[in-house]
Amino acid sequence: MHGPTLRTVETDVELLARLRSGDEQAFVMLVERYQMPMVRLAQSMVGSQAVAEEAVQDTWMGVVRGIEHFEGRSSLKTWLFRILGNRVRSARASEEKRTLDRAPSVDPSRFDAHGQWAEPVQHWDEDVEERVDASIIVPALREALDQLPGRQRQVVLLRDVEGLTSEETCQVLGLQPGNQRILLHRGRAALREKLVDEMRKE
């Protein structure tokens, strides 16, 4: 007697092959898989739900038209986010003159007179393996993530929520590696700051 069979979750590569063969259901499955992450990223770039959803819809149209040109040199997820980034940047080209946010990412009171941490903090460098899991992130960090300046929020979303590499994130957002590292550091520092504050309330 056979037990119940579990439905196998198809990989992006398998769905891509089906999509290229004209399988409309594969497209539906890709939309279900990536619609919300794409809207989340787009909204962090434009600050408007309506504009974000429109950019995502435009991206899906671009996928349908350009699927044959996808050469697989990056992951499908990275390719989707890169198309989305291009769509959003095109829509707001005149507003994309701003670069790094100059506001301090950490409360200055956390440093002593010599510019060192007043209290020791846990080391958290760019190569840290632990990622912020969107399914378990605490409400305080969700709120803190939403409050990050746009570019910081985008980098943290792609690196720590979606799991993209530094190179992939630079490709999606059109950033130089140095800028990406600074934005990631500032975003993570701000999230850590929020977590420290919440823990002190306990």
Instruction: State the residue range of the domain holding 90.
Output: 12-95
Compute the radius of gyration of the chain from its Cα atoms: 19
Give the pLDDT band (50/70/90) at residue 176: very high
CATH code assigned at 33: 1.10.1740.10
Whether residue 2 is contained in a domain is answered as: no
Last residue of a domain, one of 95, 120, 145: 95
Counting residues of the chain whose pLDDT is more than 70, the rounded percentage is: 67
Taking 50 as the threshold, does the pLDDT of residue 22 lie above it?
yes
Overall number of domains in the chain: 2
Distance (Å, whole) CA 47 – CA 43: 5
Give Cα separations from 115 to 29, 112, 189 (angstroms): 51, 5, 16
Last residue of a domain, one of 95, 118, 147: 95
**196 plus 115 within the same structural domain:** yes
Taking 80 as the threshold, does the pLDDT of residue 121 lie above it?
no
Distance (Å, whole) CA 8 – CA 58: 30
**197 plus 172 within the same structural domain:** yes
Last residue of a domain, one of 95, 130, 160: 95
Q: Which residue has the higher pLDDT, 164 or 47?
A: 164
Question: Which residue has 């198309």 as its token pair?
Answer: 83
Position 111 scores a pLDDT of 60
Distance (Å, whole) CA 13 – CA 155: 25
CATH code assigned at 140: 1.10.10.10
Taking 50 as the threshold, does the pLDDT of residue 180 lie above it?
yes
Whether residue 4 is contained in a domain is answered as: no
Average pLDDT over residues 22-44: 89
Question: Lowest-confidence range among 121-125, 144-148, 177-181?
Answer: 121-125
